[in-house]
Structure 1
Amino acid sequence: MTTLGALVQKVRSKNAGPFWLTIDIFCGSEAAYQEVLGQLKTQKIAQVLGANTQDIKRFDIPSLNVIKISLPRPTIQGSIKDRDMHGASWAALIAEMNL
């Protein structure tokens, strides 16, 4: 099996305010974008991230060869239980995901 990170140019995650995270998948080419688009299922993303499928917002942007995923943070940014204040570690979970 191939990981998502091996197929794309870059996977990045960051805060989208104190209550949301956003993950950007930069495919780098139209061919890679089409391959990832056909294999990357929102249900699998939810499973890997421990989120509810209905809470995930997905934006497929063919003009940029980018897939953007937004989801609620499991804890509010900066709260005592927040282990990733900047939201950067979520990219690794997605990049290591098998397609």
Structure 2
Amino acid sequence: MTEPTLADLALEIRAKNAGPFWMTMEAFMADDAGYRAAEQLITADTVAALYHVDAEDLQIFRLPELRVVKVSVPRPLPQGSLRDRDMHAGQHHVPLASLRVPEGGQ
């Protein structure tokens, strides 16, 4: 059986603009076990590798009382610029949602 993804443990994982130069991904986890898995998986190094940014340039916010992990990263291009193909940053959650949860990580 394949390992579950972070999306399998979440109520919702989404991405949105956080101004014209930043985007934010949010993982709303269904329960405490899912939150613990998200907390362990969503690290600066993992996010930096997924989104091709420097770990020092991103911000991670952990909200255990809400079971939410938020990550803000610089947008690859300013919002609305000529080559911006996702004006609302709505598709950038997919790499985060696709993270595999190792066995015992739930």
Name the TM-score, length of structure 1 as normaliser: 0.92
Give the percent of matched residue pairs that are identical in Structure 1 and Structure 2.
35
Listed as ranges, the matches of 1:77-96 within 5 Å are 77-96=79-98
2 CA distance for matches of 1:10 and 1:98? 16
Which SS does the other structure have where 1:90 is aligned? Answer: coil
Per-residue CA shift, 1:17-62, capped at 9, x if unaligned?
1011000100021221012212332211110111111111000001
2:26–2:70 CA contact under 8 A, matched in 1: yes
Deviant stretches of 4+, over 4 Å: none
For residue 8 of structure 1, report the CA deviation from its aligned partner. 1.4
1 CA distance for matches of 2:97 and 2:6? 5
Residue of structure 2 in register with 1:4 after alignment: 6
The number of equivalent residue pairs is 99
For residue 78 of structure 1, report the CA deviation from its aligned partner. 0.2
For residue 94 of structure 1, report the CA deviation from its aligned partner. 1.1
Bigger mean CA offset, 75-84 vs 27-36: 27-36
Per-residue CA shift, 1:52-98, capped at 9, x if unaligned?
11111000001100000001111000000111000001011211122
Q: Does 2:59 match 1:57? A: yes
Which SS does the other structure have where 1:35 is aligned? Answer: helix
Listed as ranges, the matches of 1:1-99 within 5 Å are 1-99=3-101
Q: Which runs of 5+ in 2 are unaligned?
A: 102-106
1 CA distance for matches of 2:93 and 2:41? 18
The residue identity in structure 1 corresponding to 2:84 is D
Q: Which runs of 5+ in 1 are unaligned?
A: none
